[in-house]
Amino acid sequence: MGGRAVWRWGNVPLPEAHVVGLGAGLLLEAVARRRLGWPAWVGHAVGWPLVAAGLGLAAWAVLAAGTMDMERPEALVREGPYARSRNPMYLAWTLVYVGVAFVLGAGWPLLLLPVVLVRVHLDVVKEERSLAERFGAGYAGYRASVRRYL
C-alpha cells in the first residue's frame, strides 16, 4: 500500500470458532485436566513462537488491508499475506490457538481443534461465495492464483 502503515482496529477479528473452541477447551481443562505429555519447557519452546507468528501474521494482514473495511470491502486485498493466502487471518488465529494450548500444556483445546477448523472452513466457504458475487471475475482470478489457506 506504499507510504505510512495504516491500522484499522475493525479489521482485527476475533473469529468466533477460535474463541469458542479455545474457551471451551480451557474450561474443560479446568474441570478435567488433559495435560499434554511433555515437559512444560517443550510447550513453551513450541507455543510461544506459534503465538508470536500468529500475532505477527494477523498484524501484517491488518496492515495490508489498510483503511479498507474488511466487513464490506470495496476491493480485493492482494498485497502482503493476501498474496499467498486468501485467509491469512484465520491462519493467524489458528497459530495463536495452537500456541496457547501448547504454552498452557492443555490437551482439550487441541482435541477440539478439528471441530474449530471445520467451523472455520464453513465460514470461509460462505465468505468466498459472498466475495464471488461481489467481485465476479476479479475474485475468480484471485482464487485461481492464491491458495485458500497455505
Residue 25 has pLDDT above 80, yes or no: yes
Residue 21's alpha-carbon distances to 91, 103, 117, in angstroms, are 15, 16, 10
Residue 1: predicted pLDDT:
45
Residue 14 — very low, low, confident or very high, per pLDDT cuts 50/70/90?
A: confident
Residue 10: pLDDT over 90: no
pLDDT at 75 over 90: yes
| Long-range pairs of 39-44 with CB within 8 A, sequence gap ≥ 24 | 40/105, 43/102, 43/103, 43/104, 43/105, 44/102, 44/103
**124-144: per-residue pLDDT in tens?**
999 999 999 999 999 999 999
Q: Is the dihedral of CA 67, 69, 73, 74 positive or negative?
A: negative
- Does residue 70 or residue 9 have the better pLDDT? 70
SS3 146: coil
In this predicted structure, the answer to whether residue 53 has a pLDDT above a threshold of 90 is: yes
Mean pLDDT of the chain: 92
Instruction: Inform me whether the pLDDT recorded for 8 exceeds 70.
Output: no
pLDDT score of 110 more than 70: yes
Cα separations in angstroms, 37 against 22, 33, 41, 138 = 19, 12, 12, 48
**134 Cβ contact partners less than 8 Å away, ≥ 6 residues apart:** 73
Residue among 149, 120, 113 at smallest CA distance from 22: 113
